Structure 1
Amino acid sequence: MRFSDLSSSTIYHYLKTQGVVYQCGPFNIQLKANIPFLAEQLHVLFAHYPFIEHDVLIDFRVNLARPYSHRYWWRPQVLFKTAEGDPGMAPFPLDHALPMLEWGTNWCVASQSHYYLMLHSAAVEYQGKGVLLPAWPGSGKSTLCAAFAMRGWRMLSDEFGLIDLETGLIQPIPKLIPLKNQSIDVIRNFAPDAVIGPLFTKTRKGDVAHFRPPLTSVAQSEVQAKPRLVIFPKYQSETRFKLTEVTKAQALLRLANNAFNYQIVGKKGFHAVKSLIDESNCYELYFNDLDTVVEKLQQLIESLPPEE
């Protein structure tokens, strides 16, 4: 069963009672919230996620709670709480509950998932070949990830390049993509049929609207991907498309510095990065046009030799 099989009222009933349990990539998340409009947003944006009714191991227990103070009625707020620890997040305005859920879930993954090497990277797959797009905020990796997803690529993640420390493969975690500021209209114009949620203005990251991952990407979220390309992207307004090869040594250093938990996972992290770089072609990408990027990178992937 998926969220799309339920009505908003049924989702709200679960939210305010035992909580909804859903799967996102390798994680089972239990969410409680007494917020009626959030149920409507989940019905649309979580439509493809599995809604779990049977007993499963819960990875993260999340509660979006309204503080019981004068703020319950006057300029109401919402708090992010979790059984896995205190993320130290300040309250958000109540109508920003969805961004709080998305950012709070990122904290859960980043603080609890050290059985993966966690790269700050988008990740996609085309023709069975995985592509990592490591970059820090503002580089355009989320915009690229949404664009590839709307052109038939498998979306693995826009935020976490989860590398399985045992297999070296990319573990999908197809979360909502928080498009920010100009990227929102860029994707709307690039893919008018994309499902994008409500606009949240004046957040701590500017204006934000959430892109819904395609059904095919969510349905294959248990299928790991073999990395073949590592591309360091950077949006540059004056450059339509520029792809430059990066040496293996440079790529290894950049990727290690890009990881959330490289020091925590220690020797396994080093071997994971080295193996990934050894088996991948590495490039630096400057771009300002999504159609060109998709076309050129499809050609690049198609030119790669098949896996031996």
Structure 2
Amino acid sequence: MRLQHLPFQEVNSRLRNSGLNLQLGQFCFAITTKLASVAQSLSILYADFEVFDSSVFVDFPVSVASGHNWFSSISKSAEFRFDGYAPFNPLPLQHAPALIEWGMNWCVSSQINTFLIIHAAVIEKNGWAAVLPAPPGSGKSTLTATLIQEGWRLLSDELTLVDPVTFRVHPFPRPVSLKNQSIDIVAKRYPGLVFGPLSTDTSKGTVCHLKPPETSVSRQSESCPIAWIIFPKYEAGSATEFAPKAKSLTFIDVADNAFNFSRLGYAGFYALRNVLDRASCYQLRYSCLDDAVQIFDQLKSAE
């Protein structure tokens, strides 16, 4: 059953008791919370995901709870926990909807070693994936949010999961994190999109999450090979430049962007080498989203 078909009263009951079990890509999360803001955000952003009963195997039991931090200026706070462990300092209570998203990313990036995990967006078209590694502020999420409205399938906004045996990418199609002016840019460009609540005054500014497309969620079990690795960089007022990037430099930069490259050892090295043997590597600098979309259209048609 999809979450949207579950009465909100039942959603709330599960969140407050045994947990709301959601299948997110390869992983099952059991989420508990008594916070109405988190319940509402999950109901909006995860409406198309499958919900399971308590008999399913859970990979990540997680929770967000409110409390008082007596050693901080924050009077009411929200705390994320994974299996009872709190990996982050408490945040202001109004940031709870964003905190659950950040926490779920942390669970996979820090606990999973069955995949080479790259800090990069990844999208798919016509059976081939494009990986977009980029540091914060590069416009990666804005570009990703745009491309998934232009016919590309969302595999992930943050975590590229590469199978170290098959070298295929496995989807983890959760909400796309947008920040500050990017929220308005995407909302105005594509009216009718569904967003979660705004979290203002975070360490990243104003944060809002975009609901993933239903088709991306329904196909979250479909892996695919990587055809392109593209490093995007938004620069206001710049001309659009799209140029090949040396595979030696790409290897270094992707390895630096991987959460568990060193932990995997030879398996990580071997996986990344094989991905690069098969992929074309580029750098993209742009200031106009229309130009970027056109480049990706030409890219997929030329493959």
TM-score (norm 2): 0.95
Q: CA deviation at 1:85?
A: 4.1
RMSD: 1.7
Alpha-carbon distance in structure 2 between the residues aligned to 1:146 and 1:106 = 18
Separation (CA, whole Å) in 2 of partners of 1:143 and 1:3: 26
Identity among equivalent positions (%) equals: 36
Aligned length: 301
Question: Does residue 263 in structure 1 map to residue 262 in structure 2?
Answer: yes
| 1:115, distance to aligned residue in structure 2 (A) | 1.1
- Deviation at residue 8 of structure 1 after TM alignment: 2.2
**Which stretches in structure 2 are left out of the alignment for 5+ residues?**
none
TM-aligned CA deviation for residue 70 of structure 1: 7.8
Give the Å deviation of 1:240: 4.4
State the match for 2:167 in structure 1: 168
Find the aligned partners of 1:257 and 1:64 in 2 and give their Cα distance.
Answer: 30
Q: Does 1:39 align with 2:25?
A: no
Mark the runs of 5 or more structure 1 residues left unpaired by the alignment. none
Q: Any conservation in 2 of the 1:114–1:261 contact (CA below 8 Å)?
A: yes
2:61–2:82 Cα contact (<8 Å) kept: yes
What does residue 122 of structure 2 align with?
123
Secondary structure of the 2:224 match is: coil
Equivalent residue letter for 1:173? F
Cα offset, 1:217, TM superposition = 0.3
**Any conservation in 2 of the 1:150–1:194 contact (CA below 8 Å)?**
no
Check conservation: 1:168, 1:275, Cα contact below 8 A: yes
Q: Is the 8 A contact 1:240 1:292 kept in 2?
A: no
**Alignment pair present for 1:292 and 2:258:** no
Task: Check the 8 A contact 1:157/1:174 in 2, yes or no.
Answer: yes
Whole-Å separation in 1 of the counterparts to 2:69 and 2:227:
53
| Residue of structure 1 equivalent to 2:3 | 3
| Structure 1 residue 139, shift from structure 2 partner | 1.0
Q: Does 1:107 align with 2:95?
A: no
Distance in 2 between residues matched to 1:150 and 1:128, nearest whole Å:
17
Q: 1:3 deviation in Å? A: 1.1
Distance apart, 1:48 and its partner CA: 0.9
Distance, in Å, in 1 between the alignment partners of 2:254 and 2:90 is: 33
* Alpha-carbon separation, structure 2, partners of 1:19 and 1:210: 22
Question: Which one is further off, 283-292 or 210-219?
Answer: 283-292
**Residues 185-200 of structure 1: pairs in structure 2 closer than 5 A:** 185-200=184-199
> How far did residue 7 of structure 1 move?
2.6
Q: How does 1:1-308 map to 2 (within 5 A)?
A: 1-53=1-53, 55-67=55-67, 75-83=75-83, 85-87=85-87, 89-304=88-303
How many angstroms apart in 1 are the aligned matches of 2:293 and 2:27?
Answer: 30
CA distance in 2, matches of 1:112, 1:157: 17
